Structure 1
């Protein structure tokens, strides 16, 4: 290891890199300030003067990944339909700044990417390290709540359109697999349920079109076109949300077969009502129930074999025989009764979908195969549990719901697309091209005649340590100085 001392103060390369990065970010902030003020000037000239009256400039601050950009923009007065006066910033409206506050879309995306895996506090620390920006844990929380509420508005709009039959996706698939489950989260404050349990169930739904071989593997598979939605909402509302989420992506009229996999909860089976959806009891939960309630290893294997191969009658008869054999053992008997009741209550879903006579599976598209269902526990873990469960965490219902919305968008591979919808206004290319031309001048300087300026010749010199013995530190300094001429380097 070499300690790189680049000057008398002992600045090492790490500190030098940070200083250069900060300098570059500060310069970028100045450029962005000039662009925003130039765009504000353009909007001033193009506005309808009969509607919007210029009331002067006001300072504001835009938080970006490069740092805080302080700039001024004009406020305009206009009249409402009832004749009352109101004000607005045309620049803020044009750029969509009224959606998530004065935070740039890039900074929002960076925050959301971090907060989907880390705590609010750790996310704030990461933003400070990665960007020329400081934000508190409370600031991160505010961004999450704002984005979550905006996603809810988009979902409500989707549900409304789907109820009217106006939502129709472009993706066509012959088969759609759906899986649903719930996860119990600790609730805090006034939202905490009364009684023994201090938890509330967050519902999660996943849909996909099949499986494909994972790149670089010959045995591992991943699901295709995974779409996720989550909510604390009531059963009726959650059903509407899942249907709208599917209808937004898929052409539902072209789906020939739909299969729903779940643990047998009533709210999951309610999804199948009034729809041509085949319910299947999750194989994982069948195996889990058998292993928990049957102590004999041989009987466990026998029952697992029966139900995995769709031999429901034989499986239930075997449990009945075990009940007779264990009638004098109250503990074992009660467990077997619990197992029997669970299976009988979900008897319509015990036969795996591939073994059912009433399901004709269409030929899968090229590159896709149809496998046995049972990815829900994995999705519960990846989408929700790793971020929101354990580690002594507890949530308000609204706070958990908002973060769950963001996590659902992320695992549906559409988080940034959704953020773009929220920031629905963008700067057209032709506007930016116009701004680039006038960028060096202010509005008052545009029409001024150019004055004769004094030219100062810059002194020239060799690069430092030219002709001297080469060391690692000297080589780095020469390389840095060689990037541009000294006349182009700014000093602070």
Structure 2
């Protein structure tokens, strides 16, 4: 316990705060130990002794937000369903103490929260400082890999249920927007091998129901409504199935009247239209960027862009054809124009904005929801993946990048912590609440008892500045006049 009498070397507030914090962490670990061992004892006394045979106690250490909690729990011998001998911990089963590497769910959440924003090393430093225990960057990495693999397995089960027709979402919307794009990231080690050298593309797709004003009545900023994201390294068909399974899990797809998919023209994105009836739209940013890059005359490039915007697709293509002859037959210019023409023609069904098409009858949006132009994907790629996974000389293994992307997609969907809870199942029975209250109340009484035992603290003696209020001699007057209007540097 802290000694709060004033020492010779006065303690500063920062150190005092840290010392108190460490004491609180230690006290919290003591409470956890008391609760866990008390529950284990209760389970031992109330168990069916014919089914569960006592085989001694085992010391265990679980890392928590308060630091490592060491306690003893009883191990029991029993018969499994096949009649074979097995060993169980009743405490683990009763509390459903699912952990990752003997780390509590709360600690895992804090680790994931940190590592989704900063590097593994920085995340380890933050957690070490927060919990008062040594957490290595390798431990944080292991948590991400384990959690990412669990998410991937759950996604596989979701896709399987989708193929079997068992996913029946209940939410009803008339319009659903989808966007997809990829992020090329640097690979490391053996994963560098492949047709694209040291980079591979990680896929990302988002769905949302429309837009709403961020601050109604104050500005014209909009945010998407009910954003859900999926990401990972997979082939086109697998990714399309995952996207569709994610949609079927949330929505009653039979009630959706219009679905619009926005993309940059990549084959794997267009492949996402094969799983359900969707209207494809070529992303406007990529259209205009391609025009500026491939048309040698920038004035003509702007004219072609305006023709596309106004819906005069055929005139735009004709103008590109004319420019091939006007450039004097220069090979590089003709080749660029040819590539642009092929790009636009291969995506000609997506050049008209969805709300300007004659074959789409757009329902009225719900109150407070707006249907705007698609094109949020560059922003989504940046916010969800790029800020964490690209730059700063980062490189990834396929497994490591895939696991991180799964976590980042769930975070962007606002479902990360719910997913961690469901994957780790840290459920505590209501039957134990009274027991917890009793133990914590006892702990509080112990704190009061300790406070009463602390020796009295003598306050600092305070007095006036020497000679204050004393008679002023001529000598003191002379010294005061000498130094009263001068800086210290002038006197020394």
**Band of TM-score, shorter chain:** 0.7 to 0.9
- Judged with a 3 Å threshold, the aligned counterparts in structure 2 of structure 1 residues 464 and 212 are, in CA distance, closer, same or farther, namely farther
Q: In the alignment, which residue of structure 2 is the partner of 1:37?
A: 37
Q: In the alignment, which residue of structure 2 is the partner of 1:95?
A: 95
- Judged with a 3 Å threshold, the aligned counterparts in structure 2 of structure 1 residues 233 and 434 are, in CA distance, closer, same or farther, namely same
Maintained 8 Å contact 2:207/2:227:
yes
- Judged with a 3 Å threshold, the aligned counterparts in structure 2 of structure 1 residues 378 and 65 are, in CA distance, closer, same or farther, namely same
Q: CA deviation at 1:467?
A: 8.7
- Judged with a 3 Å threshold, the aligned counterparts in structure 2 of structure 1 residues 263 and 31 are, in CA distance, closer, same or farther, namely same
Q: In the alignment, which residue of structure 1 is the partner of 2:434?
A: 433
Distance 1:467 1:211 in 2: 66
Distance 2:145 2:451 in 1: 56
Distance 2:35 2:399 in 1: 38
Distance 1:348 1:46 in 2: 70
Maintained 8 Å contact 1:109/1:416:
yes
Maintained 8 Å contact 1:6/1:13:
no
Maintained 8 Å contact 2:96/2:428:
no
Q: In the alignment, which residue of structure 1 is the partner of 2:400?
A: 399
Q: In the alignment, which residue of structure 2 is the partner of 1:164?
A: 164
SS at match of 1:41: helix
- Judged with a 3 Å threshold, the aligned counterparts in structure 2 of structure 1 residues 414 and 12 are, in CA distance, closer, same or farther, namely same
Q: Does 1:372 align with 2:373?
A: yes
SS at match of 2:54: strand
- Judged with a 3 Å threshold, the aligned counterparts in structure 2 of structure 1 residues 81 and 364 are, in CA distance, closer, same or farther, namely same
- Judged with a 3 Å threshold, the aligned counterparts in structure 2 of structure 1 residues 9 and 174 are, in CA distance, closer, same or farther, namely same
Alignment of 1:110-259 (within 5 A): 110-195=110-195, 197-215=197-215, 217-259=218-260
Per-residue deviation, residues 174-228 of structure 1 (Å, max 9, x unmatched): 1000001111122222222235612221111100000011127412111110000
* Residue 465 (structure 1) aligned to one of 436, 450, 459: 459
SS at match of 2:60: strand
Distance 2:80 2:456 in 1: 67
User: Unmatched 5+ residue regions in structure 1?
Assistant: 442-454, 472-492
- Judged with a 3 Å threshold, the aligned counterparts in structure 2 of structure 1 residues 99 and 26 are, in CA distance, closer, same or farther, namely closer
When normalised by structure 1's length, the TM-score is 0.87
Distance 2:260 2:454 in 1: 76
Maintained 8 Å contact 2:100/2:146:
yes
Q: CA deviation at 1:81?
A: 3.5
Distance 1:43 1:150 in 2: 30
* Number of matched pairs: 454
SS at match of 2:206: strand
Distance 1:370 1:352 in 2: 12
- Judged with a 3 Å threshold, the aligned counterparts in structure 2 of structure 1 residues 86 and 363 are, in CA distance, closer, same or farther, namely same
Alignment of 1:60-71 (within 5 A): 60-71=60-71
Maintained 8 Å contact 1:309/1:352:
no
SS at match of 1:411: helix
SS at match of 1:206: strand
Larger radius of gyration: 2
- Judged with a 3 Å threshold, the aligned counterparts in structure 2 of structure 1 residues 161 and 17 are, in CA distance, closer, same or farther, namely same
Per-residue deviation, residues 279-304 of structure 1 (Å, max 9, x unmatched): 11111110110111113232122111
When normalised by structure 2's length, the TM-score is 0.87
- Judged with a 3 Å threshold, the aligned counterparts in structure 2 of structure 1 residues 42 and 315 are, in CA distance, closer, same or farther, namely farther
SS at match of 1:87: strand
SS at match of 2:123: helix
Distance 2:151 2:366 in 1: 32
SS at match of 1:97: coil
Maintained 8 Å contact 1:52/1:76:
yes
User: Unmatched 5+ residue regions in structure 2?
Assistant: 443-448, 466-492
Per-residue deviation, residues 309-356 of structure 1 (Å, max 9, x unmatched): 322111111111111212422221111111111111111111111110
Q: CA deviation at 1:46?
A: 4.0
Superposed CA RMSD: 2.5
- Judged with a 3 Å threshold, the aligned counterparts in structure 2 of structure 1 residues 48 and 204 are, in CA distance, closer, same or farther, namely farther
Q: CA deviation at 1:15?
A: 0.5
Q: CA deviation at 1:65?
A: 1.2
Distance 1:191 1:462 in 2: 66
Q: In the alignment, which residue of structure 2 is the partner of 1:485?
A: none
- Judged with a 3 Å threshold, the aligned counterparts in structure 2 of structure 1 residues 457 and 246 are, in CA distance, closer, same or farther, namely closer
- Judged with a 3 Å threshold, the aligned counterparts in structure 2 of structure 1 residues 138 and 457 are, in CA distance, closer, same or farther, namely closer
Maintained 8 Å contact 1:62/1:103:
yes
- Judged with a 3 Å threshold, the aligned counterparts in structure 2 of structure 1 residues 34 and 295 are, in CA distance, closer, same or farther, namely same
Distance 1:52 1:188 in 2: 50
SS at match of 2:410: helix
Maintained 8 Å contact 2:95/2:429:
no
Maintained 8 Å contact 1:311/1:351:
no
Maintained 8 Å contact 1:228/1:409:
yes
Distance 1:69 1:367 in 2: 49
Q: CA deviation at 1:464?
A: 4.2
Alignment of 1:76-87 (within 5 A): 76-87=76-87
Distance 1:146 1:195 in 2: 29
Q: Does 1:12 align with 2:12?
A: yes
